[in-house]
Every structure is written in C-alpha cells, then in structure tokens.
Chains A and B, each alone.
Chain A
Amino acid sequence: MLVNKKKTPIPEQDPKERIKNFDEVALGYDSELALKEAERCLQCKDAPCIKGCPVNINIPEFIRLIKEKKFDLAIKKIKEADNLPATTGRVCPQETQCEALCTLKKIGEPVAIGRLERFVADLELQKGFDIPKIKRKNDKRIAVVGSGPAGLTCAGDLARMGFEVHIFEAFHEPGGVLIYGIPEFRLPKKIVKAEVEYIKSLGVKIFTNVVIGRTYTVDELLKEYDAVFIGTGAGTPQFLNIPGENLIGIYSANEFLTRVNLMKAYKFPEYDTPIKIGKIVGVIGGGNVAMDAARTVLRLGAEEVHILYRRTEEEMPARYEEIIHAKEEGIIFDLLVSPIRFIGDEKGKVKAIELQRMTLGEPDSSGRRRPIPIPESNYIFPLDMVIVAIGTVPNPLIARTTKDLAFTKHGTIVIDEKTGKTTKDRVFAGGDIVTGSATVISAMGAGKISARSIELLLNHNL
C-alpha cells in the first residue's frame, strides 16, 4: 500500500478572519479526516514515536483504535498516560517530540499524532467523559502546590492510586499557564476548564486563592500532609534592565497575557480589568510567548505588530507552526536588532525604542549563533506599546520561606530526576520550577514521575 507522504491538512480559520476574533485557529479533524490520517500510521513494532513522548503514550495502539473507529477506546488508551489530552494534542511541540521520531519522516511528513490525539479528546469532551471509579485505598494525604500541568497531572495520578489529594493554587482559577498564558485562539479556556473538571472528578480537591510561602509555608503543609509536590512553574518575568523600561505602555508578556486571558481584558468594559493597546507595538523576543503576545495584541486592534529579535528566524525558539501562523496574520519580523533604551513622552508613556543592529557570530553554549552588535548602527523606532517576552524565572516566594530545600543559582529546585525527590524530606518537585520554562508535556511527565515516587514512599517506604 502506498502511504501518503504528507499529513492530512487540518482545517484552519482564514487568517483575514481570525485576526478579528479569539476563536481557535486550528479547527480540528472530523472523523473522516482523522480516519484518513490514522491510515498513514505503519503500526511499527518498535514504535519509535513512543520514546519521543515524555509520558509514553502508546501511540500505535491508540491510532489503531481510531482506524477501527473505536474512538472511545482510543481516548481511554491515551488517558492511561496523559491526563490532559485535549490540551497536549493542541500545544505539544510534536515536531520535536513524538512526531520527530516517527518512521514516516524517512519518506515525508510524520503521522499527525497530536491532531489525532486532539480529535479523540475533543470527541470525549463533547460527549462528557467517563469517570473511572476510584476507591480510596489508604488514608494518606498529599498536598500539591500549583495547578499547572505538572500539579494537575501529579494530583490526578495520585488520586487514581487512591490517595487524598489537595491542590493549592495562588490564582483564583486553576490551570497555570494553560489558563493565564496560552491564548484562547490556541487553547480555548473551556477545554482547560473541562480538563480541570476531569481531574476534580477523580476526587482531587482544589483550593484556589492560597499562596504557599504566604498563606501556608511548605513546612506547615508537611505537618498536615504525608508528602508535598511543588509544581509552581517559572512565572516571574524577566526584564531587559535598560533605561526607560518602566514607562507606561511597556508590559511583561506575563502581565499582558494575564490581563487578557485570565482577567478577560479583551472584553473590557464588560469585564473590569483594562488593557491599553497601542497602534504600533514592539514585541521583544523570539519564543512561543512572543508569538502568542504578538498575535494577541493584533487581535486586540493594534495596527502594526513587530517582533523584535536579536538573531534570525533560524535561531528562534518558537515553534515553526507558530511562526508561520504569525506571519500569515501579518506580524512583521524585525530581525537582528537589540533594544538599547526606551524613550518616553512628558506623560511617562513610551513613544519610541532605540535599537541596535546585530550580526551573527560563532555559536554559543546553546549551539545558536551569538548575536554581535554592529557599532554605530543604532536607530530610533517609534512605537507606543512594548511587550517584553524574554523569558521567565521561578517565583522566589517558596525559596524565601522554605528551609532545607536546595535551589540552583537560577532559582530552580534541585531534584533527583529519576524520582522527583528534592533535598527536603517528603518534598517532591517537577515542571518549570525545576527545569525553567519548558513545555506542558514535560511538566506533566515530571508530575507523573513524582506521583509514582510518592506512591513508592508512602505505600512501600521506598
């Protein structure tokens, strides 16, 4: 049988239309398209794709079930390993994970594993999901700090193992970056809410508005709980530390996205939280967060949105798909430029940025070619809004209030990678708080490892 070399395309909203709304860009497969794509899978015996998935979903098996139109069983198979499939099917960087190792890559494009995963997950969400029957098997209690993908996964797995699990979340809504960071048009909030509901239906209790390090300390949690998992992410924004950075109109990507996604500033004044949108907007950075911020501000009515990045498109850490989407929507890429200072008007509002042109030199420790400033190449670029998306670091609250917990100089928690164990007795950690900003699925993988270790510790004293 001849295999189609290309992935079955996924229907998308027209760029001209979608920049006017916050609806999802990728519309998803229907069953016909899903069957067509599932046909492409070779059902490889050694299944290299599985090794590329941080939670080791049995990919050929779920695709086989799709082929046989057993969609219910396909999603059950995925959920054995992945608690949030509608989310991962959408936002996983599949091209560097499962799909990167797919055998079909030798002759063309890999199987669209993510799209198939999304298809069966969405189908289940439409119908309402089956809740596995879980018996409380023991009286041990676990506290999970943070309700991002790491915390939700760890909690979900522990609940299935029969533990009583309480999640503590600082914000008024659970979900972490899935709720406050990734925009609606890539990951609809109703999907995240449904996935959170699923975790709750496993028996997990979520307490919002509790800041660990303030409301309770980790040490206090240890008095009430048998183990603690820390999944607080890396949410503190970094700034450039250049003159004028505190002018009005300069936002961190986190503030901008939180106002828009979590607080729904795009619906002001129906919602109370405001946001000020500029006409000409500069987004500093070249990662997924920069792309999300740029595409969001465009949808909020900015006339011109420029990505300001100091290397070239090749070195951009953003997913290829997102760069393409951004370009289709009309985002302008100003490459090989580095910000020197911001210039404000008499009211303290940003009105321009001074940029210096760069050229690429030798590769640095990350393997990417290092940007080198070109002398006397500075120029002034007028704009009236800036979003700084140059990365985030772990929040310092837990570090400042927890004894015996070792941190690296980057502020991340030191763990044993195989077990998720920290240097503090009965305390585990995983996700961005350990790795720095990474991916949804790697955070989930870390949550799973810790859940397993907690089970071994509490039930078998290992």
Chain B
Amino acid sequence: MYKIFKKIELAPEVKLIEVYAPLIAQKAKPGQFVILRVSEKGERIPLTIADTNLFKGSITIVFQEVGKTTKLLGKLKEGENIIDLVGPLGNPSEIENFGTIIGVGGGVGIAALYPILKALKEKGNYVISILGARSKNYLIFRNEIERISDELYLATDDGSLGYKGFVSDVLKNILDLGKKISRIWAVGPTIMMKVISELTKPYGIKTIVSLNPIMVDGTGMCGGCRVTIGNKTMFTCVDGPEFDGHLVNFDELLLRLKTYKEEEQLALKLLEEGEEFKIASK
C-alpha cells in the first residue's frame, strides 16, 4: 500500500499527489515514470514522476482526470492508499551540459518536463522554457519552472495569460532569432509533440519527446506500447519513453491511442452513472 500524503488541485481536473514510495523516491531520475493501480479491479496506468522528496520518502505525481482510472485516483483523499505502484520505469533523460536548451511543456506535460529542466539547469545549461495550456488556470507549475529557467515564455489558447496561441508559434519566434540552441525537449499532448518535432526538423536541432502510448506492464512484456522510431519498432517502456522526435511516427501513435475509445467512454459513463445512483439513493 502506498499512502497519499498530500493532495492539491492544481487546475480544474488536474491534481497533484505526493505518495509514500521511498524505494522509488531514492531511485527516480528525471524522465522516468511509475505504473499504478487504484483498485483490485483496476487498470494499470503510467504516470510520470514529477518530483521526489527523499526526506519524506515520497514521489510527486501530477495527473489530468481524463478517464475512469485517473478519476478514481482523483477521488482518493490524503491518508488513503494506492494499492499498487511500481517504478521507476523507463530510461532516465540524458542530462548533460549541452549549452542552451529549450523546454516546451503543454498542459499536464509541464509537470513531467519540470524534473528534466531542473536537472538540466543543475548541470549548467541555459534553460529557456515555453509553457502552454488552454487557459491561465491550466498553466501549472509556473513558479517551479520559473525558478529554474533563464527565460520563461507562456502561451494560452484563449490569451488569458501570455501569448495568445500555441507554444509552437513561440518556439518558432525564438528559433528565428538565430541563437544557437543545442537541444529541445517537448513534453505534452502527442499532437503538440508532433507539431514541435515537425517545426524543429528544418532547423536541424535535436528534439526529444516523451511518448505516452497505452501500456500494460511497463517492463517490456507485452509490446502494447510499441511505437515506430525511424523504421524500427521499439517498446516505449524499456526503450523510451524519450525518443528523437524527428524519428517518431506520430500518426501511428495518435491512431493507436484511440484503440479503446469506446471502452473508455463506457467505463466513464458507468462510473458517472454509478455516482448519480449513489447520490440518488442517499
């Protein structure tokens, strides 16, 4: 059992939890993730380790409630337990002093980008951060990222804060200034990572993305998380989750993410109806 120490609502349907998992906390490196299960009948889902606290023996997870499992996770209160939690999984990010790097984070991906940028900053990189979300409320981890950034740019779809538009527009403006950029990290929705990778390719700047296919075990045993990188099939959980964005077949990944659309909607509907039923019968 893995106890939830702390829970904060960062934005509508975006929650942060700190979970007691001392082994994972000791081992976790930027870019790695955990797989958890919320109940005996639950699904195994992957979530990125956004931070660790060795003193408390805890890891921080930030998640968006998009379906049944993340909704159930969102309902757990401080003091309650997650039944299964395994990790750290995946390969750590490659952290070196590259020079100047840009981190692009979208939505809940901002939290996943944070430990990577923090480590890059500690290695002496000049860190330029570009964060984007639907609107101001969804721009999570702003202060944390600001603290470790040399430059910070914000973008919202509705213009409620920062630039009105996409992070890719902001990135393009920066790249066009002609400054030498050694590497770019893009972490966020798959479509965002695709757009950013397409944008940076002509500039010839290596762009790392963190892929999020559907997973089961997270240890290389099922092949459900396979993605096409260049012309090769790779398993995201053991070969990734970070890959060279210029080699990723994003269209295939976008299709594969829709595999269980109908089942996901059904599970969510039953969950919500179940709740109404409970409220009605009270």
Residues of A near any B CB (own CB < 8 A): 170-172, 180, 208-211, 214-216, 235-237, 239, 241, 245-246, 248, 251-252, 254-255, 258-259, 263-264, 267-274, 276, 347-348, 395-397
Cα distance, A211 to B252, chains bound together (Å): 29
Q: In residues 13-48 of chain B, which contact A (Cβ within 8 Å)?
A: 23-24, 27, 37, 39, 41-44
B189 on the interface (CB 8 Å rule)?
A: no
Contact with A along B206-244 (1 / 0, CB 8 A): 000000000011011111101110000101001000000
**A252: which of B68, B222, B263 is its contact (CB, 8 Å)?**
B222
Question: Chain A residue with minimal CB distance to B83?
Answer: A172
B197 on the interface (CB 8 Å rule)?
A: no
**Given A272-B41, A348-B255: A215 touches B221 (CB 8 Å cut-off):** no
A395 touches B221 (CB 8 A): yes
Q: How far is the CB of A227 from chain B (nearest CB, A)?
A: 21
Chain B's interface size range is 35 or more
Q: How far is the CB of A400 from chain B (nearest CB, A)?
A: 8
Question: Which of A245, A255, A270, A276 neighbours the largest number of chain B CB atoms within 10 Å of its CB?
Answer: A255
**B223: which of A171, A216, A252, A274 is its contact (CB, 8 Å)?**
A252
Q: In the complex, identify which listed stretch (B84-92, B133-141, B173-181) lies at the interface while the others stay far away.
A: B84-92
Q: A236-B220, A246-B227, A269-B266 are in contact. List 12 more A-B contacts (CB 8 A).
A: A171-B217, A172-B86, A209-B86, A214-B89, A241-B233, A255-B224, A269-B267, A272-B68, A348-B255, A395-B220, A395-B238, A397-B238
B270 on the interface (CB 8 Å rule)?
A: yes
B7 on the interface (CB 8 Å rule)?
A: no
A258 touches B23 (CB 8 A): no
The interface residues of chain A lying within 8 Å CB-to-CB of B228 are 246
What secondary structure prevails in chain B residues at the interface with A? Answer: mixed
The interface residues of chain B lying within 8 Å CB-to-CB of A241 are 233
The interface residues of chain B lying within 8 Å CB-to-CB of A172 are 37, 44, 83-84, 86
B281 on the interface (CB 8 Å rule)?
A: no
**A237: which of B44, B221, B256, B258 is its contact (CB, 8 Å)?**
B221
Question: Chain B residue with minimal CB distance to A393?
Answer: B220
A258 touches B217 (CB 8 A): yes
A246 touches B42 (CB 8 A): no
12 contacts between A and B (CB under 8 A): A172-B44, A209-B84, A214-B27, A214-B88, A241-B233, A248-B259, A252-B222, A264-B41, A272-B41, A273-B216, A348-B255, A395-B219
**B255: which of A274, A347, A397 is its contact (CB, 8 Å)?**
A347
**Given A171-B217, A215-B24, A269-B267: A263 touches B43 (CB 8 Å cut-off):** yes
**A276: which of B220, B238, B260 is its contact (CB, 8 Å)?**
B260
B86 touches A396 (CB 8 A): no
Question: Chain B residue with minimal CB distance to A209?
Answer: B86
**A235: which of B44, B85, B86, B221 is its contact (CB, 8 Å)?**
B221
The interface residues of chain B lying within 8 Å CB-to-CB of A395 are 219-221, 238
B256 touches A348 (CB 8 A): yes
Q: How far is the CB of A172 from chain B (nearest CB, A)?
A: 4
The interface residues of chain B lying within 8 Å CB-to-CB of A348 are 252, 255-256, 258
**A209: which of B85, B238, B255 is its contact (CB, 8 Å)?**
B85
The interface residues of chain A lying within 8 Å CB-to-CB of B86 are 170, 172, 209-211, 215
Cα distance, A248 to B213, chains bound together (Å): 12
A263 touches B44 (CB 8 A): yes
Question: Chain A residue with minimal CB distance to B23?
Answer: A215
Q: How far is the CB of A164 from chain B (nearest CB, A)?
A: 19
Question: Chain B residue with minimal CB distance to A388?
Answer: B223
Question: Chain B residue with minimal CB distance to A217?
Answer: B27
B264 on the interface (CB 8 Å rule)?
A: yes
B256 touches A271 (CB 8 A): no
The interface residues of chain A lying within 8 Å CB-to-CB of B83 are 172
List the 6 closest A-B pairs by CB distance, nearest first.
Answer: A348-B255, A274-B263, A255-B222, A272-B43, A209-B86, A252-B223
Cα distance, A180 to B222, chains bound together (Å): 11
Q: How far is the CB of B229 from chain A (nearest CB, A)?
A: 11
Q: How far is the CB of B236 from chain A (nearest CB, A)?
A: 12
B149 on the interface (CB 8 Å rule)?
A: no
